[in-house]
Amino acid sequence: MTDRPTLLLLPGLLCDARLWRDQAEALADQARIVIADLTRDDRIGAMADRAIAEVEGPFAVAGLSMGGYVAFEILRRAPGRVTRAAFLDTSARPDTEEQTRRRRGLISLSRSGQFRGVTPRLLPQLIHPSRLDGPLAGEVMEMADRVGKDAFLRQQEAIMHRADSRPDLPGIGVPVLVGVGAEDALTPPELAAEIAAGIPGARLVHFPGAGHLPTMETPEAATAALAEWLLA
């Protein structure tokens, strides 16, 4: 048996365990790490149920982007089991009409056999411009290829139908970390600030030099923030 707390990590759209690789390795002595598979369902609620089923007893949960939407849903479904929550580069808001329109365009592109053309379109929104021509861009593309078209379509459907989590923010009573890449173009810092302002006692952290994927772009800073949060 171990007295380490369980930490459930939730990947984002087109992301797998690579998103959290550095944090999982660095925090292994501090927590028992479980990285959820969010590729098999087309609704956020089903993703949340599957993730909850992967852990026993109380647990901390951290989600990035789509993983943040799932984390909000987990708090609604299993509030008594969540000991602390971290929301990275995400939003408490539902999709806007414009966001849904763009998602449907990417869905159509993928269904027409051009899935490999989707990630290059998304890449400038995912990582800091200084990294677009570097090795990290290749890792992000490879990660998206591993997730694949079918899972991408399911995830987009789930994201489009997600709930508005803003009304739930004041009732979250566990230690909360809200983190965001300072240059995040997809879910910009003002959305992180909105989450942090709505949750009593939440800590807001910006990751300088990072875009939408700070766990990969600035892994040391993201890990340090999570390590401190786990001890809060």
Give the pLDDT score at 117: 60
Q: pLDDT (tens digit, 9 = 90+) per residue, 69-92?
A: 999 999 999 999 999 999 999 999
Residues of the chain with pLDDT under 50: 1
What pLDDT, on the 0 to 100 scale, is given for residue 172?
98
Return the pLDDT at 110: 77
pLDDT in tens, 124-165: 989 999 999 999 999 999 999 999 889 999 999 999 999 999
Q: What is the pLDDT of residue 99?
A: 84
For every residue of 96-165, which 3-state class applies, written as one string? CHHHHHHHHHHHHHHHHHHHHHHHHHHHHHHCCHHHCCCHHHHHHHHHHHHHHHHHHHHHHHHHHCCCCC
What is the pLDDT at residue 1? 39
On whether the CB atoms of residues 22 and 219 are closer than 8 A, the answer is: yes
